Chain A
Amino acid sequence: MPEIQGLTAFHKETKALPLSSRFQSDADFENLSRWIDSRLAGNDEGVLEWHVVLADDDASNRLVLGSLLESSGIAVTTAENGRMALDIIGAKPVDLFLLDINMPEMDGLQTARAIRALPDANADLPLIAITSDVSPKRLAEMRDAGFDVCMEKPVRRDNLFRVILGTLSRRIAGLGSEL
């Protein structure tokens, strides 16, 4: 874990709390550029498309977060619950998940556990929790379920991107020999 002083400052600035060692609070641009190269390598058009799956049962939250991402050129698929979010994995490659916790049918904790239990590389996808409940009990549940980082609502665009880049920076480590 990062030293606590730095962590507090990071949380103060971004309202984000790291939950796993996959997350790093500052983007590692060397790793990021390797990740981008690896994505472009299999892409004939040379266009980098990031695909984020966003699950939240509230329409206004989906609309706000979806707009923050789409206005920056990130492709977003929205889902109303965890079950729908999981179904997207098979249909199109996913780069990361933004998951609300309280959702009907399949909540964010169940969804995170289901993703971490997948039999393929998708089990290592970055998982960002977006919630209004950051009680110690809930944070422990999110960490145990496999989330990498938790962001407290309301989420600012610059903070969201800082967290996304930090999360993707570590993604490269999990890709290993594919590169």
Chain B
Amino acid sequence: MNYPVWEVSFGAGFLIAAVGILHVFVSHFAVGGGLFLVLTERRARRNNDQALLGWLKAHTKFFVLVTVVFGAISGVGIWFTIGLIGPTATSNLIHAYVWGWAIEWVFFFVEITAALLYLYGWEKLDARLHEWYGWIYFIAAFLSMVIINGIITFMLTSGNWVKTHEFWQGFFNPTYFPSLAFRFAIALALAGIYALITASVQQDAALKARLVRWSACWIVPALVVLPALGWWYIRWIPADVWVNARGPTPTATHYALFAVVLVSVTFVLALLTLVRPGRMHLAFSLLVALVALGAMGSFEFVREAIRKPYVISKYLYANSLYAAKMPGDGGFSVDEVNANGILKAAKWISQRDLSKGDQAMVGREIFRVECESCHTTDAYRGVKHYLALRQWDQNKMQAMLGGLDLMHNGVMPPFAGTDAERAALAAYLNTVHPVSAEAAAAASDGQAVFDQNCSMCHRAKAGEPLFKELPRDSTAAIKALKDLTGLFPAMPDLKLSEPQRVALVRWVDTQRPVKGSGSTAPGGSK
């Protein structure tokens, strides 16, 4: 809201994900593939293996066309894209880490030069010098990963930086080393996966078989250690953050599952290449690469999803509001926006006057500045879809917006703004998916009432505090549900109809643990 919000019809988040995932799939290859080039060249020269050298020359061309062209441009592309979609976060990352970026640029420059000289040097340089260029390339590429890894992990686990704003404390943050090792293992696996592609088009079956086996020597061990490194990585992610990938946050949970499944499938496919290595088809190598791309993308999705509601952990929310008031925040912390109102604070709003304008139109603008960094109306993370599941009328919507930061274990930032602004946003959302008050009160099936009103924060599974702590006596439970904020102050002040409360209590009774604690003390899950 300090900067204008770019309205991407199909979803800003989707665009960043697309650019980012394609980039990492190539940039990790750029690191691992560098080591692959030099070690393969060494091996070929030691054994005076001309066939292998011939293939490696062609593979170098492929490597440069993929990494130096697409990899480098898409890397700049991430900069362009985050600047367009998250200018506040980008500005913070630039000012806090400009010397880190500048160091990375030095490595980038050396890396690109070395890659081109290595490519053109095949015909021109003596073997020793050529290998040297390969080593310079790989070391520079690895060092650029060493730098960028510090900044990416900082965004997930900002550590002490939030207090001290000290460069190295943010850089060497809790997940720095596990992430570096994890990513390097991925890079090594990708070196083999990409090599399968150029190997598959070889005519000479004996050479192809050797190449496939050599590629598998990169993929298989890397994927064998990957779970251990992943475990190390997860151990350093704060438990309350990681738990999001274990159920409470649907995106993180689904992608964590995809990541595990797709890495396993990649592993099995890599082993299958060894069955008849001399006859591996291009289509099969592309399949391996595609599955690996899915795995890599899923991992990055998990990392991004568990980081939510933040874009920089504990510091900046995904919608560009600062988590806490601090000097120099420009008035863009949640507390300040709550106090002053978003219509006053936001710089890029054309309808500021709630007393004059159409409430829903003003709500539309609030949606743009507060929600559109992650949501669209009916495309990527479209709110229309979520609202259709919930069937909230305008009043209920307004109440629910007050508890955004509690939903799905806190995946969203809190709504920031005044009560009137929250009402305006609710009015707008009710135009996106109109539900009348009668329709909202109509649901009489207990599970439907739970799904529509409770499931954002409470999960229908054993151990859910709601099931244990709601009074066992039906009359008392129905009465307690009348005043939710009395039950637990952070709950939205929902007004369920009498039949809905009765249905809900009946349904909750079917979910209760058989040997419950028997506690009748009112309380909530959070």
A-B interaction: no
